[in-house]
């Protein structure tokens, strides 16, 4: 015996499992609205004005409950109390959490990458090589490259962390004057580079620029 429409709980109304993710809730909401909204071809002849209003308000209420974590937990508890869903169903299956797409791609990996670089610097200890480099009046790209490689950091990791294009980074490390970016960009690039390798930015920029102008 199937339930009457009015007796359906929110999950049955939306036709989703009890552990549905918020993405599924949203999707189901969209689908059910398409059936019951006023302009829908499927139902316009079936319901009177007030019947439709009650149905739509129930759908809205269901959506606002299921999409809100707090309200949903409270609602789930109520369903368990009434005996509509078995208790172990809630504890057994954790509700699937979603990760927003933009975070999954950038923020997380960027964070991991920086942390990895920090760890490498900490392990090897930039120590003498770094201070020797900064004490020089003229700092060449080769010096930077040597320092980076001695720390075991890949060029790609610098790119990941700074988003400076690899060709620009290579030009800097090769002292390739014709391919270097304009001076104003060069300075800010060097600053970012220094920050990644945890060097004093001002000293590095001054030394490098002097070295370039010397030629």
Residues that bind other proteins (CB under 8 A): 1-2, 5, 34-35, 40-46
Closer of 30 and 122 to other proteins (Cβ)? 30
Min dist CB 164 to other proteins, Å, is 38
- Smaller CB separation from other proteins, 44 or 185: 44
Closer by beta carbon to other proteins, 43 or else 146: 43
DSSP the chain: -PPPGGG--HHHHHT--TT--HHHHHHHHHHHHHHHSTT-TTTTTT--HHHHHHHHHHHHHHHHHHTSHHHHHHHHHHHHHHTSS-HHHHHHSPPPP---HHIIIIIHHHHHHHHHHHHHHHHH--HHHHHHHHHSSS--HHHHHHHHHHTT--HHHHHHHH---HHHHHHHHTT-GGGSPPHHHHHHHHHHHHHHHT--HHHHHHHHHHHHHH-
CB of 71 to other proteins, least distance (A): 25
Task: Give the nearest distance from C-beta 40 to other proteins in angstroms.
Answer: 7
Query: How far apart, in whole angstroms, are the C-alpha atoms of residue 80 and residue 98?
Result: 24
We find the least distance from the C-beta atom of residue 47 to other proteins, in angstroms, to be: 8
Which one, 13 or 205, has the nearer CB to other proteins?
A: 13
What tokens were used for 105? 């791609």
Which CB atom, from 46 or from 107, has the smaller least distance to other proteins? 46
> Taking the complex as a whole, how short is the minimal distance between the CB of residue 44 and other proteins, in angstroms?
7
Whole-angstrom distance, CA of residue 115 vs CA of residue 79: 45
Q: Is there a contact between 204 and 190 (Cβ–Cβ < 8 Å)?
A: yes
How far, in Å, CA of 202 to CA of 191, rounded?
8
Q: For other proteins, which is the closer residue by CB, 48 or 92? A: 48
User: Residue 35 CB, nearest distance to other proteins (Å)?
Assistant: 5
């Amino acid at each position: 015996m199937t339930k009457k429409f009015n007796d359906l709980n929110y999950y049955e109304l939306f036709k989703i499992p009890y552990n549905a993710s918020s993405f599924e809730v949203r999707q189901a909401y969209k689908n059910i609205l398409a059936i019951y909204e006023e302009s829908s071809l499927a139902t316009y002849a079936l319901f009177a004005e007030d019947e439709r209003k009650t149905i739509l308000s129930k759908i809205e209420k269901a959506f606002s409950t299921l999409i809100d974590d707090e309200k949903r937990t409270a609602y789930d508890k109520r369903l368990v109390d009434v005996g509509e869903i078995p208790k172990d169903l809630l504890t057994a299956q954790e509700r699937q959490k979603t990760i927003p797409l933009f975070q999954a791609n950038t923020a997380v990996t960027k964070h991991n990458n920086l942390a990895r670089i920090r760890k490498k610097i900490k392990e090897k200890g930039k120590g003498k090589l770094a201070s020797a480099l900064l004490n020089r009046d003229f700092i060449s790209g080769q010096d930077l490259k040597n320092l980076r490689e001695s720390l075991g950091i890949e060029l790609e990791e610098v790119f990941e962390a700074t988003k400076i294009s690899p060709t620009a980074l290579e030009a800097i490390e090769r002292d390739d004057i014709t391919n270097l970016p304009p001076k104003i960009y060069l300075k800010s690039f060097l600053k970012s580079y220094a920050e990644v390798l945890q060097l004093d930015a001002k000293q590095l920029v001054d030394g490098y620029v002097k070295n370039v102008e010397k030629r």
